[in-house]
Structure 1
Amino acid sequence: MIWLAIALGGGLGAMARYGANLWLYPLFEQRFPLPTLCINVLGSALMGVAYVWLIERGTDHPVLRHLLMTGFLGAFTTFSAFSLDAFALMRNGASLTAIAYVLLSVTSCIIAVSLAIKITSEYL
């Protein structure tokens, strides 16, 4: 049942992201990825709400948690999971580790996408 919930949530989250992009991109110039930033911030905020509602308040229902957090928000923006991981590190007193995680994640991902584009452009 959890796998089905993740699949359903993921499908809905991916469609929501696509719809948000269709709606937001015409509103902004393309010089700065503001629509992506908005989606990432919204997804992170929703992840925070879901975390409190489903986990901290003790109302956790595994199927609903996976539908919303893993599926929907995971597809809407993986940045929400990244943000929750960083928050958990800070909350557990590992602030330096959280800062290193954030810097390493962002830098590594930018390097990875840059290298992948370069390599793929040259060889495919």
Structure 2
Amino acid sequence: MTTFILVCLCGGLGAVARFILDTSIQRWWSRAFPFSTLVITAVGTFCVGLAAAAFMNHAVDTRTYLLFVIGFFGGFSTFSTAVNQMTSLVRSHRQWSALAYLAITVLAALACLALGWWMGSLNR
């Protein structure tokens, strides 16, 4: 039960961190392209890659992995927000921007996950 509560709390902290980063980027980036969500997705998937490599290399235990990956980064980086922003681009008749955003989001997420995994596996 303690792990469940801690995962929930970490998820809340991740959501707050996401809100702060999203708001900060949006103040700087005032264009229609949803750059803040792309940055958050990239940072989140990179960190999940690091955490997954640390877990697979037995550098962290299961509970720590759950707190960070399921909890914090589950609240921090949500693919549903990216999908919602793609939908908003389509509704505003920016289909090519939506398609580009989809491709960049998926490719960046995979690249950042792989980079995080690789960096997390260097000391092994």
Q: Report the TM range for the smaller structure's normalisation.
A: 0.5 to 0.7
TM-score under structure 2 length normalisation:
0.60
Mean Cα deviation higher: 55-64 or 27-36:
55-64
Q: Deviations over 1:63-116 (max 9, x none)?
A: 21111000000000134xxxxxxxxxxxxxxxxxxxxxxxxxx8xx56xx67xx
Shift of 1:33: 0.3
Do structure 1's residue 35 and structure 2's residue 47 form an aligned pair? no
Whose radius of gyration is greater, 1 or 2? 1
Do structure 1's residue 77 and structure 2's residue 77 form an aligned pair? yes
Partner Cα distance (1:66, 1:56) in 2? 13
Any residues of structure 2 matched to 1:89-100 within 5 Å, and which? none
TM-score under structure 1 length normalisation:
0.60
For structure 2, the residue ranges without an aligned partner over 5 or more in a row are 92-124
Contact 1:5 1:64 (8 Å CA) reproduced = no
Instruction: Give the partner amino acid of 1:78.
Output: T
Any residues of structure 2 matched to 1:1-124 within 5 Å, and which? 1-53=2-54, 55-79=55-79, 109=83
Aligned length: 86
Instruction: Give the partner amino acid of 2:51.
Output: A
Shift of 1:36: 0.6
Give structure 1 regions of 4+ aligned residues with deviation exceeding 6 angstroms.
Answer: none
User: RMSD between aligned alpha carbons?
Assistant: 2.5
The higher-RCO structure (CA 8 Å, 6+ apart) is 2
2:120 aligned partner: none
Partner Cα distance (1:24, 1:60) in 2? 32
Q: Percent identity?
A: 29
Shift of 1:5: 1.8
